Amino acid sequence: MRNGGGPVSIKEAMRNTAVFRCVSLISYAIGMLPLHVIESESKEKARKNPLFPLLHSRPNDWQTGFNFRQYMQRNALVHGNAYALVIRSMERVIRLIPLDPTTVTVKQNRDWSVEYHYTPKQGDLRIIKPSDILHIYADTHDGISGTSMVRTAAQAIELAKELEQFQTAFFRNGMHIGGMLSHPEKLSPEAYERLKLSMKEQYSGSANAGKWPIIEEGMTPHQFASSAKDSQQIESRKLQIEEIGRVFGVPRPFLGVDDTSWGSGIDVLGQIFVRYALNPWFTAWEQAIKRSCMNEREREYLDAKFNAGALLRGSMKDQADFFAKALGSGGHQPWMDYEEVRDNLDLPEKTIAPNPLAQKGNGNEPEAAA
């Protein structure tokens, strides 16, 4: 990224509030959502599989599941790639160690095979095979490594930074008076210097915006009309925020741009965010895990799966209506049983009579077992 004064680094780009908001929204969502190993056919959680606790809660000795996923997703967004070293013992994955993406490069050999060159800050080059690297990326230009969304939004970020710098300099150094005073006579050099010093000391800076100077006798006030440039600057900044959000797939209201009260419409925006911004990343994670963290036999009957239900849940009333229909209320053909509903709501297991509606499609709901 280029600026009139030189390149805009990723660190500087992350100081832009819109960029930070986009990255934090997506990475926090990936971090907070449960990631499970499930059986492909039954969709049951494979809790006894050794990979389950690593993905869900403890990938290594110093990170939680949230910390690991959030950090990896942040790297994927900011740098384009997220890497984790897959540590095995007797073909069993026992640790996932995140790597600094700036220390890893991907190389494709003449035989089309791929290898990862890892150069730690203190140590020698290490060549790692793909099966020992969990590599998360989405958009790519070469098919083997990802593209940084921060760099994709470089022009919008650069312009946003320049607008911020302009407004900062304007409010720090500008003179924001509400009008001017004219004198019928020519001021003496002493009076002019006194006036200039007074104006600089008392009326420059954002704290003095809009003040009228009171100076010498015989002066006539002239009020300034409000300039359209101020509103244009505000609109330009909003446009740049929207441009940055568009690159990341984050809806405009999630960036704090609009004053509109969305009410129930925010649920629809949340669904759009999950569907178009998060779902591609869900797939990237799930397939990368299956490729690098499961052996050939496990890949035949296991999947990695995010549970996005927490983000898609509506109000309590909407949830009650949905699950009532899922259980067969109101003549609907049921497609869930009681335990599945409780599992979706993260409620503990409870001994409940099976739901005959889910099998027969008619009759009344059974009463809970005593």
Least confident of 78-87, 97-106, 225-234, 237-246: 225-234
Contact status, residue 160 vs residue 237, Cβ threshold 8 Å: yes
Tokens of 350: 């409870």
Q: For 25-29, 103-107, 357-361, 366-370, which range has the lowest pLDDT when averaged over its residues?
A: 366-370
Model confidence at 347: pLDDT above 80 = no
Task: Give 3-30 pLDDT, tens digit per residue.
Answer: 444 456 888 888 888 889 999 999 999 9
Least-confidence region, from 10-14, 101-105, 232-236, 287-291: 232-236
pLDDT > 60? residue 177 = no
Average pLDDT of the chain?
Answer: 80
> Which band of pLDDT confidence, cut at 50, 70 and 90, is reported for residue 190?
confident
Cβ proximity of 147 and 139 under 8 Å: yes
User: Which of the pair, 179 or 77, is modelled with greater confidence?
Assistant: 77
Alpha-helical (H) ranges within the chain are 10-13, 17-32, 51-56, 65-78, 149-152, 154-173, 189-203, 228-248, 265-272, 279-293, 298-301, 309-312, 316-326, 338-344, 357-360
Cα dihedral: 314, 57, 82, 33 (round 10):
0
Distance CA 63, CA 239 (A): 38
Q: What's the pLDDT score for residue 360?
A: 44
Average pLDDT over every residue of 52-80: 97
How many other CB atoms are found less than 10 A from the CB of residue 210? 10
Residue 218 — pLDDT band, cuts 50, 70, 90?
A: low
Residue-wise DSSP of 82-126:
EEEEEEEETTEEEEEEEE-GGGEEEEE-TTS-EEEEE--SSS--E
Which of helix, strand or coil describes residue 215? Answer: coil
Q: CA-to-CA distance for 329 and 364, rounded, in angstroms?
A: 8
pTM listed for this prediction: 0.73
Copy the structure tokens of residue 155.
């022009």
**Residues found in the chain:** 370
Q: Which of 253, 301, 281 shows the shortest CA–CA distance to 37?
A: 301
The span from the CA of 251 to the CA of 21, in Å, is 11
> Is residue 284 pLDDT above 90, yes or no?
yes
Q: Which amino acid is at 190?
A: E
| Gap between the Cα atoms of 31 and 70, Å rounded | 4
